[in-house]
Amino acid sequence: MDTVLISLITSLIVSLITFTLGVKSGKNQSDRQQLKEFYKKMTVHFQELKHGLDSYNPKTWRHFKDSNHNYSPLIKSMVANGDIIEINKKIAIKAEKLEKDALIVGWKFYDKFQELFDIALETIEQYETLNYSNTGNQYKIKKDITGRAYRNYYLGILFNKTLLKKELESLERERDLGLNFRHHEGSKIVYSLLLYPDDFNKIDINDVLLEINEKAIKEIEGLEEILIEFNSLSKRLDDLIKLTAKRTRDPHTFIETVVGAIVDIFRI
């Protein structure tokens, strides 16, 4: 009798678990497409934040200004509208913290641009005379550059010797090409510094730019800490991107489905 009872109870438990797993799996399947879309958007969002940091052109709150003039980056918006509840809790916590950290360090970075620009102007004027354009905070050595080509670069690249050297090396075969270091907010150009290799008679343009970099790193207070934070955030973003990209392919792990089903059993 005891054996029959145990067998019956075991059978009922197995049936209950199987049924609950089936229900849970079905629910997960119905949510799958929406969750994949959430994780896809998160992956793209954090890839853009990482690219901004790696290229020394970071995103800040102003890059996410909506039509109502509110600053609404993706994760903040997901928290506000409740979509974040659908995301794995650990990933959601990491995402919210990392988005804030990345946008804050971007603001700190741009706050150093006036000092960088002043150092650049002061350094260049040791060798040549700069001309100011009344169309904005824009400088160049030659007054007339009609028809002369140039490449645009983020002003922030002057903070990174490795990126700067890489770009200068790529221009070795195009010595007639100008370099326009600029920073703009929306359509407004805030800073612009346009230089050509033949602007300088007594010194090579590469040496001038590297001198600007060295002075900026040495003289701008707090800059070194910001650049260290850049590297740290880039690594954290890379780790999070791997997690969200994996969830884009499979929003629910097998373990989460099983654990969720067991929890549901105890709720019955």
Pairing outcome for strands 188-195 and 150-154: unpaired
Edge-to-edge strands, sheet with 150-154: 131-133, 138-140, 188-195, 178-185, 150-154
Q: What is the pLDDT of residue 134?
A: 64
Contacts of 45 (CB under 8 A, 6+ apart): 73, 74, 75, 99
Q: What is the pLDDT of residue 260?
A: 45
Report helix, strand or coil for 144. coil
Report helix, strand or coil for 143. coil
Q: What is the DSSP letter of 138?
A: E
**Segment among 16-25, 32-41, 119-128, 230-239 with least mean pLDDT:** 16-25
Residue 257: pLDDT above 60? Answer: no
The residue ranges of DSSP E strands in the chain, in sequence order, are 131-133, 138-140, 150-154, 178-185, 188-195
Q: What is the pLDDT of residue 18?
A: 56
Contacts of 204 (CB under 8 A, 6+ apart): 197
pLDDT in tens, 236-254: 999 999 999 999 988 665 4
Q: What is the pLDDT of residue 69?
A: 78
Residue with tokens 């059993």: 265
Q: What's the Cα-to-Cα distance from 113 to each of 77, 157, 259, rounded to whole Å?
A: 29, 11, 51
pTM over 0.85: no
pLDDT in tens, 162-208: 999 998 888 888 878 999 999 988 888 899 999 998 899 889 999 99
Residue 21: pLDDT above 70? Answer: no
Q: What is the pLDDT of residue 267?
A: 52
Residue 136: pLDDT above 60? Answer: yes
Instruction: At 86, list the tokens.
Output: 């659908």
Residue 144's pLDDT band (boundaries 50, 70, 90)? confident
Beta bridge partners of 181: 153, 193
Whole-number percent of the chain with pLDDT over 90: 60
Task: For residue 249, report the phi and psi dihedrals to the nearest 5 degrees.
Answer: -85, -35
For 111-125, what is the mean pLDDT? 95
> Angle between the 89-110 and 74-81 helix axes, to the nearest 10 degrees?
140
Q: What is the pLDDT of residue 120?
A: 96
Separation CA 203–CA 243 (nearest Å): 49
Residue 263: pLDDT above 80? Answer: no
Whole-number percent of the chain with pLDDT over 70: 81
Neighbouring CB atoms inside 10 A of 82's CB total 8
Pairing outcome for strands 138-140 and 188-195: parallel
